[in-house]
Chain A
Amino acid sequence: MLIKLLSGDTPRSGLLAVLLLVILISLAFAPFLFPGTRSLETAAKICIFIVLVASYDLLLGYAGIVSFAHTMFFGIGAYGTALALSTTGPTYGSMIWGTAAGAIVAAVFALAIGLFSLRVKAIFFAMVTLAVASAFAVLVSQLSWLTGGEDGLNYSIPREFKPAFKLVDEKIFDVRINGKLLLYYLVFFASLILFLTMLRIVNSPFGRTLKAVRDNAFRAEAIGYRVVWYRTTATVLSAVMAALAGSLLAIWLRYTGPATTLSMEIMIDILLMVVIGGMGTLYGAVIGATIFILAQTYLQNLMGVAAQATSALPLVSTLVAPERWLLWLGVLFILSVYFFPSGIVGRLRAGRT
Chain B
Amino acid sequence: MTKEHPILETKDLTIRFGGHVAVDHVSCAFDRGTLTAIVGPNGAGKTTYFNLMSGQLNATNGTVLLNGENITRMSVPERTDKGIGRAFQLTNLFPTLTVRENVRLVAQAKARQGFDLFSIAESHIELIERADHVLNEVRLIDQADQTVSALPHGDQRKLEVAMLIALGPQVLMFDEPTAGMSVDEVPIILELIGKLKADMDRTILLVEHKMDVIRSLADRIIVLHNGALVADGDPAEVIALPVVQEAYLGKTPEAA
Contacts and interface: CB of A to CB of B under 8 A. Distances in A.
B122 interface: yes
A219 B54 contact: no
Interface stretch (A85-93, A138-146, A220-228, A303-311): A220-228
Contact of B54 (A201, A222, A237): A222
Nearest to B119: A204
Given A216-B94, A216-B95, A219-B94, A224 B109 contact: yes
Contacts, number: 98
B247 to A, nearest CB: 29
A222 B76 contact: yes
A230 interface: yes
B143 interface: no
B240 interface: no
B241 interface: no
Given A205-B108, A209-B108, A222 B114 contact: no
B224 interface: no
B94 A225 contact: no
Nearest to B112: A224
Contacts of A216: 92-95
Contact of B114 (A7, A201, A209, A219): A209
A200 B97 contact: no
Nearest to B122: A8
Contacts of A219: 88, 92-94
Contacts of B119: 204-205
Contact of B77 (A8, A207, A215, A225): A225
Given A216-B92, A223-B167, A224-B80, A211 B120 contact: no
Interface of B: 54, 56, 75-77, 80-81, 86, 88, 92-97, 101, 104-106, 108-110, 113-124, 163, 167
B120 A204 contact: yes
| Size band of the interface chain A makes with B | 20 to 34
Given A8-B122, A223-B106, A223-B167, A205 B95 contact: no
A7 B110 contact: no
A220 B88 CA distance: 13
A200 B108 CA distance: 17
Given A219-B92, A221-B76, A223-B80, A205 B54 contact: no
B122 A225 contact: no
A203 B121 contact: yes
Contact of B121 (A207, A215, A227, A230): A207
Contacts of A227: 77
B131 to A, nearest CB: 12
A206 interface: yes
A218 interface: yes
Contacts of B101: 208
Contacts of A230: 114
A169 B145 CA distance: 58
Contact of A204 (B54, B95, B118): B118
A270 B93 CA distance: 31
Nearest to A211: B97
B117 A201 contact: yes
Contacts of B113: 205
A204 B113 CA distance: 10
Contacts of A212: 94, 97, 105
B104 to A, nearest CB: 8
A225 B109 contact: yes
A185 to B, nearest CB: 25
Q: 9 smallest A-B Cβ distances: which pairs?
A: A224-B80, A215-B94, A221-B76, A224-B109, A205-B116, A209-B114, A205-B113, A206-B117, A223-B109
A220 B92 CA distance: 10
Contacts of A211: 94, 96-97
B121 A208 contact: yes
Nearest to A215: B94
A281 interface: no
Nearest to B167: A223
A226 B122 contact: no
Contacts of B115: 205-206, 233
A201 B118 contact: yes
B109 to A, nearest CB: 4
10 contacts: A201-B118, A205-B113, A205-B121, A212-B105, A220-B94, A222-B80, A224-B109, A224-B167, A226-B75, A230-B114
Interface in A177-209: 200-201, 203-209
Contact of A8 (B93, B120, B167): B120
A239 to B, nearest CB: 15
Most chain B CB atoms below 10 A, which of A4, A211, A219: A219
A211 B88 CA distance: 20
A215 B122 CA distance: 19
A216 B91 CA distance: 11
Interface string A273-296: 000000000000000000000000
Interface string A296-329: 0000000000000000000000000000000000
